[in-house]
Amino acid sequence: MRALILALMLIAAPALAVQPGEMLADPALEARARAISENLRCPVCQGETIDDSNAPISRDLRLAVRERLVAGDSDTQVVDYVVARYGEFVLFKPRASGSSLILWLAGPAMLLAGAGIAFAALRRRAVAPEAAALSDEDKARLADLLQK
């Protein structure tokens, strides 16, 4: 129970995670830092980005991201820098490589497969609907009747 309470305290830390003092003066660079942080997971919390987390390590990461940006790194280089130290666990959006391709392709693949199966089943089922269709003459009569 103590451990649970402790864990809850960590999770439910107040929401002011990005502190004003940490932010960069250059709004363009800061915007890039925020965009990068959104995809970086706090390594010790439960499913929080480093932006939302209050853990000291998240603060270190936020500062590290900004340091690299100021040093002139590209966004990809910054992310690579963090991943090299903490592993792909910190990426909320796994890279579409190796076994993670399954994750990315599962949805589109299922849509294609489902659409294919449905199409085949529907074609089999649609038994010559043309035969049952009304001729132009009948249609004209029907329209005429509906008008009245």
Partner 1 sequence: MIVEFGHFTLVLAFMVALVQTVLPLWGAYRRDTRLMAVADPAAVIQLLLIATSFAALTYAFVSNDFSVKLVVENSHTTKPMLYQFAGVWGNHEGSLLLWVLILAFFGACAAWFGGNLPATLKARVLAVQGSIGVAFLGFMLLTSNPFLRLANPPMNGDDLNPLLQDPGLAFHPPFLYLGYVGLSMSFSFAIAALLEGRVDAAWGRWVRPWTLGAWIFLTIGIAMGSWWAYYELGWGGFWFWDPVENASFMPWLIAAGLLHSAIVVEKRESLKAWTILLAILAFGFSLTGTFIVRSGAITSVHAFANDPARGVFILGILAFFMGGALTLFALRANALDAKGVFSMISRETALVANNLLLAVSAFVVFVGTIWPLVAELVFQRKLSVGQPFFDAAFPPFMVILAIILPVGAMLPWKRAELRRVLRLLTGPLVLTLALAALIWAVQTGRSALGPVGAGLGAWVVMGAAVDLWQRAGRGGVLDRLARLTRLPRADWGKATAHAGLGITIFAVAAINAWATEDIRVVKIGETFPLGRYDVTLQAVNTLEGPNYTTTMADMRVTKAGAEVTVLHPEKRFYPVQAMPTTEAAIRQGVFEDLYLVIGDAQDGGGYAVRSYIKPFADWIWAGSLLMALGGILSLSDRRFRAAAGARKPLAVAAE
- Measured from the CB atom, the residue of 14 and 72 that comes closer to partner 1 is 14
State in angstroms the smallest separation of the CB of 148 from partner 1.
12
State in angstroms the smallest separation of the CB of 12 from partner 1.
5
- Measured from the CB atom, the residue of 26 and 47 that comes closer to partner 1 is 47
State in angstroms the smallest separation of the CB of 99 from partner 1.
4
State in angstroms the smallest separation of the CB of 78 from partner 1.
15
Q: Are 49 and 38 in contact (CB under 8 A)?
A: yes
Q: What is the 3-state secondary structure (H, E, C) of the chain?
A: CHHHHHHHHHHCCCCCCCCHHHCCCCHHHHHHHHHHHCCEECCCCCCCECCCCCCHHHHHHHHHHHHHHHCCCCHHHHHHHHHHHHCHHHECCCCCCCCHHHHHHHHHHHHHHHHHHHHHHHHHHCCCHHHHCCCHHHHHHHHHHHHC
- Measured from the CB atom, the residue of 70 and 110 that comes closer to partner 1 is 110
Q: In the complex, which residues of this chain contact partner 1 (CB under 8 A)?
A: 1, 4-5, 8-9, 11-21, 23, 38-39, 41, 46-49, 52, 87-94, 98-100, 103-104, 106-107, 110-111, 114-115, 118, 122-123, 125-127, 129, 132-133
- Measured from the CB atom, the residue of 3 and 72 that comes closer to partner 1 is 3
